[in-house]
Copies of this chain bind each other. A is one copy, B any other.
Amino acid sequence: MDNVNIVPDMEQAYDESIEKIFELLEEKKYFRCRDELLKHNEVEIAEMLVDIRREFDLQRMVVLFRALPKDISVDVFAELSIDDQIDIINIITDPEIKYILDELDFDDMIDVLEELPSNIVDKILDKTPKSERRMINNFLKYKEDSAGALMTPEYINLSKNYTVRQALDHIKDVGLDSETIYTCYVLDRGRKLIGVVSLKALVISDDNKLVSEIMHDDPVVAHVDDDQEEVSDLFTRYGYLAIPVVDNEFRLVGIVTVDDILDVIEEETTEDIERMGGIIDTSDREYLDQSVFQHVKARLPWLFLLMCSYFITGGILARCEDAMSAVIALVIYMPMLMGTGGNSGSQSSTLIIRGMATGEIELRDFIKVMWKEIRVGIIVGICLSALNYFRIVFLDHNPPMVAVTVCVSMILIVIIAKLIGSMLPMVAKRIGIDPALMAGPMMASITDMISLCTYFVMAGLFLHI
């Protein structure tokens, strides 16, 4: 880094601090640890606590958490993962729990309550006022991963008959408790959503204008039962800071803000990528926090299933034992054909799965996709075959008819793999299976079977065995 650069390197500062904290913890100097932590913002403190838990144990993490000033500890708590939050709650005292839950944003509090055992939740709810208790109970009913579970009821609600000045005064009064004040919502008497107005519009408009004059009256909304993935698609499409959530009667029940969506996007992407890599049924815990058995549980079933599919592949091979004994050279090119088939199929399925996830490729594009893949497959297959012919005849000194068998098989295998690789994710989506499951590992297993069949049919054709 340049000498003239006076921008602090945040990552380096973090690493230096965490090392110092580890040393201080070894020496049990908790107060100096706390002072070192307090040099950072709440996001970094939360990350440091997680590091401390991994390096030492939960106890020491909680000791330091409790040593933080109260107001900071709440902000740090909000940044922790739900698992860490629950583990902390299980250790600290009831008054500490009450303080944290009172100070948390409503949606963060709901997330914590959802994971707590019901007897603890009941104990907490006993002490909350009746109106709030009813609202909390309503929110606890929303399905996991739905818009309802993501949203917060802490939004600003304006009347369409307010003047801009009245609206701004109202915001000043109630703004502190609202998750966002940058988008405000206009409701009718039945709490139906009739418009949204941005704080920007309010701030730059004349004081005497009416809210109804500057509000946008056909807002994009999410339905309370929508999946969180649909909600995050709306944010990506429209680039809004918040989206209102309505019930079946178009009554506003809450809002989802963009900062929560960033976490949803990361979570959904991780799930997609892991499924594409053959890891099913992952918990929300991070890699390092999962036990060996949780890892086994997430990986074994799919590996097992795919391995069983190779029993069929083995069966095909068993039936071709004679052909293999006759021309043992055929076996030498088998892994290459299977591997290239699998890779070709993976490429296509990856593109289609991602295209469908971002909304670019729709089911109605099926024919267009197939036609494109066929042409790509033909060109790629021919290019790869050309090199192989040369290698088999001139380098390996095998008979030209073996080369022809391998090359024709290669072209067919690449085309078929690309067709299946693009078709399967679309078929899966059509029948309601997650297309991400039709990626690499699945492709490899299916194309291995197809490659072998194709190969031995071609061998029969060209080598008469």
Taking Cβ atoms with an 8 Å cutoff, the residues of A that contact B are: 2, 4-7, 10, 41, 43, 168, 171-172, 175-176, 180-182, 199-200, 203-204, 218, 220-221, 223, 235-241, 246, 248-250, 258-260, 262-263, 265-266, 269-270, 272-274, 276-279, 286-288, 292-293, 295-296, 299-300, 302-304, 306-307, 310-311, 313-314, 317-318, 321, 324-325, 328, 331-336, 338-340, 342-344, 346-347, 349-355, 358, 360-361, 365, 368-369, 372, 375-376, 379-380, 383-384, 387-388, 391, 396, 439-441, 444-445, 448, 452
> Interface majority SS on A: helix, strand, loop or mixed?
helix
* Contact (Cβ within 8 A) B376 A344: no
Q: Is the CB of A278 within 8 A of B343?
A: yes
Given that A6-B250, A296-B376, A336-B314 are contacting pairs, would A444 and B342 also be in contact in the complex, using a CB cutoff of 8 Å? yes
Contact A351 B203 (CB under 8 A): no
The verdict on A237 contacting B43 (CB below 8 Å), with A306-B339, A354-B274 known, is: yes
**A350-B279, A380-B303 as given contacts; A7 in contact with B241, CB under 8 Å:** no
Task: Please pick, from B41, B286, B384, the residue contacting A220 in the complex, using a CB distance under 8 A.
Answer: B41
Could you tell me if B277 and A351 are in contact, using CB atoms closer than 8 angstroms? yes
Beta-carbon contact of B317 and A335 below 8 Å = yes
Q: Are B355 and A286 in contact (CB under 8 A)?
A: yes
* Contact assessment for B278 and A347 in the assembled complex, using a CB-CB cutoff below 8 Å: yes
Question: Please, how many angstroms separate the alpha-carbon atoms of A172 and B209 in the complex?
Answer: 14
**CB < 8 Å: which of B314, B344, B387 contacts A333?**
B314
CB contact under 8 A between A339 and B384, given known A6-B250, A360-B288: no
This chain's copy number in the assembly: 2
Give the distance to chain B from A400, nearest Cβ to Cβ, in Å: 17
In the complex the two chains form, what is the Cα distance from A89 to B200 in whole Å? Answer: 31
Query: A203-B199, A314-B336 are contacts. A303–B384 as well, Cβ < 8 Å?
Result: yes
A184 to chain B minimum Cβ distance, whole angstroms, is: 11
| A347 engages B200 (CB within 8 Å) | no
Instruction: Please measure, in the bound complex, the distance between the C-alpha atom of A311 and the C-alpha atom of B277, giving whole angstroms.
Output: 26
Cα of A299 to Cα of B300 in the assembled complex, Å: 31
A239: min CB distance to chain B, Å: 3
- CB contact under 8 A between A172 and B204, given known A321-B328, A379-B296: yes
Q: Which residues of B are found within 8 Å of A259, using beta-carbon distances?
A: 239-241
A336 contact set on B, CB distance < 8 A: 307, 310-311, 313-314
By a CB distance below 8 angstroms, the chain B residues around A324 are 324, 328, 331
Neighbouring B residues of A375 by C-beta, 8 Å = 292
* Distance between Cα atoms of A341 and B304 in the complex (Å): 12
In the bound complex, do residue A171 and residue B203 qualify as a contact, i.e. CB atoms below 8 Å apart? yes
- Chain B residues lying within 8 Å of A338, measured Cβ to Cβ, are 335, 338
Judging by beta carbons under 8 Å apart, are B439 and A277 in contact? yes
Residues of B near A333 (CB, < 8 A) are 314
Which residue of chain B is the closest to A51 with respect to CB atoms?
A: B362
How far does the alpha carbon of A321 sit from the alpha carbon of B324 in the complex, in Å?
11
Task: In the A-B complex, list the 4 residue pairs whose CB atoms are closest, starting with the nearest.
Answer: A277-B350, A239-B259, A310-B336, A440-B440
Contact B287 A351 (CB under 8 A): yes
List B contacts of A361 (CB < 8 A).
287-288
Chain B residue, CB-CB nearest to A219: B41
Are the CB atoms of A278 and B318 closer together than 8 Å?
Answer: no
The minimal Cβ–Cβ distance linking A418 to chain B, given in whole angstroms, is 9
Complex CA–CA separation, A249 to B4 (angstroms): 7
Query: Within 8 Å CB of A331, what residues of B?
Result: 317, 321, 324, 331
Of A171, A239, A274, A352, most B-chain CB atoms within 10 Å = A239
Q: Collect the chain B residues with CB atoms within 8 Å of residue A7's CB.
A: 221, 223, 246, 248, 250
Give the complex CA separation of A347 and B321 in angstroms: 32
Alpha-carbon distance between A349 and B317 when the two chains are bound, in angstroms: 30
